[in-house]
Amino acid sequence: MFADVRNQRRLEQTLLFISLLVLSLIWLTPFATVVMSAIRSQGDLLSRGVFSWPKAIAWKNFSEAWHTGDFSIYFRNSLFLIFIKVPLGIFIAALAAYPLAKMRFRFSGAIFIFFLAGLAVPVQVTLQPLLVMMKQLGIANSIFALIPPYVAFGLPFQIFVLRGFFRLIPSELLEAARLDGASEWTAFLRVMLPLSVPALATLCIIDVLNTWNEFLIALVLISAKESRTVPVGLLQFQGEYSSQYTLLMAGILISIIPVIVIFIFLQRYFVAGLTSGAVKG
């Protein structure tokens, strides 16, 4: 009987492994297509096809795509947004989540639901009002026009995660800090934030990826070349070099390399932070 159970488990594990292997191959096929197209010459691609091994590695595709596609400008703008928007948005979310998690006041539940309602607001319905608002503020068509909407659309999810994580921190620690004479501001900075590093790190990683990949808002609010982000610049590059497949694939690979690197090295923090902060509501 025990032998039958072991055999059944081995069969289930084998089937699971095969299923995951097949799914992984299916998921990796588009990425492999991009890589195989980016490292070969245009003639080699057209004559032998994308799934053949290239005759020679054409590394010059990457340097040519970088310079002709002005990716240095787009990378600079996207990095600027990340360094400004990500810490600003997470800090504002922490300021909002702290009283919702650790203070008792009237309508706290309604305020929290109001924040969560932001998750249900489609980005598309806000594009026209955002464009009008940024024009009235005088920052339309500049990189600074992206910071307010990026921060606003990131707050609902960040507040939800941080509120859940803050509620897991024992309130006795805050009470001890208050008895020692700490103000609410000091308790927030010296007690709450240091103990919330896992959740803050997770949100930081997710926010970096979302900011880097955001396309629709940047496409509507930005048209000047010097203010484009990587996704919008890649779209322009695709329009100009639509027939140069190897350069186009090299440009796509350049734009996604930072995302791949971040995901590979920091993916374990995703689960660790989210599960620890979202268990309790």
Per-residue confidence at 55, pLDDT binned at 50, 70, 90? confident
Q: Among 261, 259, 151, 270, which Cα is nearest to 201's?
A: 270
What is the arithmetic mean of pLDDT over 98-124? 88
What is the arithmetic mean of pLDDT over 6-17? 82
C-alpha distance from residue 15 to each of 25, 41, 207 (Å) = 15, 40, 36
Q: pLDDT tens digits, residue range 118-141?
A: 888 888 889 989 999 998 988 888
- Per the listing, tokens 């979310």 go with 93
Residue type, 93: A
CB 160 within 8 A of CB 115: yes
Question: How many Å apart are CA 164 and CA 93, to the nearest integer?
Answer: 12
pLDDT > 70: percent of the chain? 93
8-state DSSP, 269: H
**CA–centroid distance for 275 within its chain:** 18
Question: How many Å apart are CA 19 and CA 62, to the nearest integer?
Answer: 35
CB 169 within 8 A of CB 193: no
Per-residue confidence at 272, pLDDT binned at 50, 70, 90? low
Q: pLDDT tens digits, residue range 63-97?
A: 998 988 889 999 999 999 999 999 999 999 999 99
Per-residue confidence at 5, pLDDT binned at 50, 70, 90? low
Determine the straight-line distance between the first and last CA of the chain, rounded to whole angstroms. 44
